[in-house]
């Protein structure tokens, strides 16, 4: 792919070809999301056209008749919806979720670009991201003002003839990310740039540079100086600190993955031995800080807890996805030297949720990685007679071509349809037992009061196919964290016993706040499967006795299960 065709001057460009729209429109028709008035429609071919009024020409068979339907695709100002309008009186405008570009400073610009012998016509969305892209030599603009950049007329198609989707960042965008780091992460309230930060100031930052390189990497170099307090200050230069963070991109199974490498170069002149310890400590803080910039803060707590200094193992990261209200959101999954960083799980709204660190403000927080689209949702709905989850149909990019060189970063490929399930926040209204005493079903209740009974075998089936696996290590909900439900057809419900039933000294049954009752043996099975969790209690599986729940060991007996009121 040719990075020299990323010429619009906008921060990011996403280009969609005829193949992407063909797949998306077929998904909409097959799932009755595109209202054809009950008339059967079969798509034969889709083309992106150069026309002032229309974007697509669709060769279709409508009620047995062959005709061409023209379509215009209009993006909403917040870039979260796409409205498809046709020239057919039988097909009303259809609004579908989009959300391909996030963290924007201003509404994106849509333009249809004409191809050539090597590149196809493309519907392009040109966007500036919510970053402080202004030069480091000037003060940052207020957060509600945008540094002007981009020229629609300079854009050209870089979507190859055999691709459905392409995404590009020009080389100047990488430097703009560096400018954003300078104006935000490395800037104190008084406008100074303390090295490494306000609390651990040991010197001053001098600049940050960012570039793509011919060897397929993106690099960010942070430079600063640590002043020497010495009688030799007039003859010995201040130690110069240079931290290089390298993002190396690759395609793995059609998805983008990255490795982060860090390198430190500290020029301490004649006083190297004297200042080596000081500079090494500063470098450790700097590396933790900068890795946090590129991972949304995900690894900072881990690095600090592990006592990791400036020598960090290989950090492998991937841009994972989850769906919230039909919009595909991105998050960072990471591992250090092959060991994955465990997800942070907590109980929020009465169900188990994943938590990720919240940005310090409402601005774009994952920088380079958050701008890379992979999946775009085109349909979201509850299946018929289903209350507990929504079905999301995504047009997923299957990347197979990547170029990172001095001209920028560009990736492209084909598409596939992916089905993702988005569970609802629910409570358990009752555990339903058969006359034989066996747990027969669970009745769930949504926030709107509607209920749905699910046979117990189906409950276990629904809960099995999820990205998280029990046992869950729950933490208190992190302050200011962003929570989201793991994908799947059923949420894990958090339940706290309020009363117990005993036989002799053994707890046989739990009662919860809404009066629902559950046998202990069934509670064990449900928690082992991830259907429920009793936060604050351990589930133990002794080798020579039945499993049981107990409070975590501490100096108090007040929180013990045995201290709860009883019922008969």
What pLDDT is stored for residue 217 in this prediction? 87
Out of 8-22, 205-219, 299-313, pick the least confident.
Answer: 299-313
Query: Is the pLDDT assigned to residue 5 strictly greater than 50?
Result: yes
Residues forming beta bridges with residue 261, ordered by sequence position: 246
Determine the Cα–Cα distance for residues 298 and 308; give it in Å rounded to an integer: 15
- The confidence band for 369, taking pLDDT boundaries of 50, 70 and 90, is low
Name the most confidently modeled range: 65-69, 102-106, 250-254: 65-69
Name the most confidently modeled range: 127-141, 196-210, 355-369: 127-141
What pLDDT is stored for residue 289 in this prediction? 56
Cβ neighbours, 10 Å, residue 304: 12
Determine the Cα–Cα distance for residues 25 and 10; give it in Å rounded to an integer: 28
pLDDT, one tens digit per residue, over 258-282 is: 777 766 555 544 344 434 444 444 4
pLDDT, one tens digit per residue, over 458-483 is: 999 999 988 888 998 898 887 777 78
- pTM score, whole prediction: 0.82
Among all chains, which residue has been given the structure tokens 């047009």?
395
Contact partners, residue 177, CB within 8 Å, separation at least 6: 131, 210, 220, 367, 368
- The confidence band for 294, taking pLDDT boundaries of 50, 70 and 90, is low
For residues 123 and 238, the model is more confident at 123
pLDDT, one tens digit per residue, over 38-87 is: 788 889 999 999 999 999 999 998 878 899 999 999 988 888 888 999 99
Residues forming beta bridges with residue 129, ordered by sequence position: 104
What pLDDT is stored for residue 275 in this prediction? 42
Out of 8-17, 218-227, 482-491, 497-506, pick the least confident.
Answer: 218-227
Distances, alpha carbon 264 to alpha carbons 34, 142, 224, 244, 245, in Å: 55, 33, 12, 6, 9
**Which string of DSSP letters, residue by residue, matches 171-183?**
HHHHHHHHHHHHH
What pLDDT is stored for residue 181 in this prediction? 85
pLDDT, one tens digit per residue, over 26-35 is: 988 888 877 7
What pLDDT is stored for residue 37 in this prediction? 73
Helix or strand holding residue 18 (H, E): helix 18-30
Q: Phi first, then psi: give them for residue 243, nearest 5 degrees.
A: -110, 125
Cβ neighbours, 10 Å, residue 252: 10
What pLDDT is stored for residue 373 in this prediction? 67
* 470 token code pair: 């029990």
Query: Is the pLDDT assigned to residue 540 strictly greater than 50?
Result: yes
What pLDDT is stored for residue 38 in this prediction? 77
Helices (H), 214-328: 272-294, 300-305
* 245 token code pair: 């963070």
């Amino acid at each position: 792919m040719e990075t020299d065709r990323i010429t619009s001057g906008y921060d990011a460009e996403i280009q969609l070809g005829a193949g992407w729209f063909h797949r998306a429109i077929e998904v909409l028709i097959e799932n009755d999301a595109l209202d054809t008035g009950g008339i059967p429609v079969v798509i034969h071919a889709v083309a992106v056209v150069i026309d002032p009024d229309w974007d697509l020409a669709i060769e279709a068979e409508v009620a047995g008749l062959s005709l061409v339907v023209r379509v215009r695709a209009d993006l909403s100002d917040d870039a979260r919806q796409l409205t498809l309008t046709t020239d057919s009186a039988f097909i009303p405008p259809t609004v579908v979720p989009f959300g391909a570009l996030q963290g924007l400073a201003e509404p994106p610009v849509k333009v249809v670009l004409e191809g050539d012998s090597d590149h196809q016509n493309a519907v392009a969305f040109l966007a500036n991201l919510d970053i402080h892209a202004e030069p480091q030599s000037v003060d940052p603009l207020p957060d509600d003002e945008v540094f002007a950049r981009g020229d629609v007329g300079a854009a050209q198609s870089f979507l190859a003839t055999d691709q459905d989707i392409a995404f590009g960042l020009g080389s100047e965008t990488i430097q703009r990310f560096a400018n954003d780091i300078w104006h935000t992460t490395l800037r104190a309230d008084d406008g100074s740039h303390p090295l490494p930060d306000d609390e651990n100031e040991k010197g001053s930052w001098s600049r940050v540079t960012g570039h793509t390189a011919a060897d397929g990497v993106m690099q960010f170099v942070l430079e600063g100086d640590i002043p020497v307090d010495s009688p030799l200050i007039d003859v010995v230069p201040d130690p110069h600190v240079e931290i290089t963070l390298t993002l190396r991109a690759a395609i793995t199974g059609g998805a983008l993955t990255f490795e982060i490498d860090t390198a430190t170069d500290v020029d301490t002149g004649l006083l190297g031995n004297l200042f080596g310890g000081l500079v090494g400590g500063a470098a450790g803080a700097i590396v933790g800080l900068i890795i946090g910039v590129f991972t949304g803060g995900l690894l900072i707590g881990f690095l600090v807890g592990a006592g990791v200094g400036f020598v960090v193992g290989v950090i492998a990261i991937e841009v994972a996805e989850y769906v919230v209200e039909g919009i595909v959101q991105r998050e960072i999954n990471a591992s250090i030297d092959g060991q994955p960083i465990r997800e942070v799980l907590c109980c929020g709204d009465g169900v188990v949720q994943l938590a990720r660190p919240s940005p310090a403000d409402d601005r774009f927080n994952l920088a380079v990685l958050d701008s890379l689209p992979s999946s775009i949702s085109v349909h979201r709905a509850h299946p018929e007679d289903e209350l507990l989850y929504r079905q999301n149909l995504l047009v997923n990019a299957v990347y197979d071509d990547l170029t990172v060189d001095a001209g920028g970063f560009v990736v492209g490929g084909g598409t596939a349809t992916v089905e993702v399930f988005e569970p609802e926040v629910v409570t358990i209204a009752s555990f339903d037992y058969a006359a034989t005493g066996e747990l027969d079903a669970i009745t769930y209740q949504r926030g709107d009061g509607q209920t749905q009974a699910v046979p117990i075998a189906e409950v276990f089936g629904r809960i099995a196919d999820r990205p998280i696996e029990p046992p869950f290590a729950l933490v208190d909900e992190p302050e200011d964290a962003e929570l989201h439900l793991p994908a799947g057809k059923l949420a894990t419900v958090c339940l706290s016993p309020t009363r117990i039933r005993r036989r002799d000294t053994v707890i046989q049954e739990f009662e919860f706040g809404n009066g629902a009752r559950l046998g202990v043996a069934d509670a064990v099975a449900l928690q082992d499967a991830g259907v429920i969790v009793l936060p604050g209690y351990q589930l133990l599986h002794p080798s020579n006795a039945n499993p049981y729940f107990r409070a975590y060991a501490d100096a108090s007996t007040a929180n013990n299960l045995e201290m709860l009121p009883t019922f008969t």
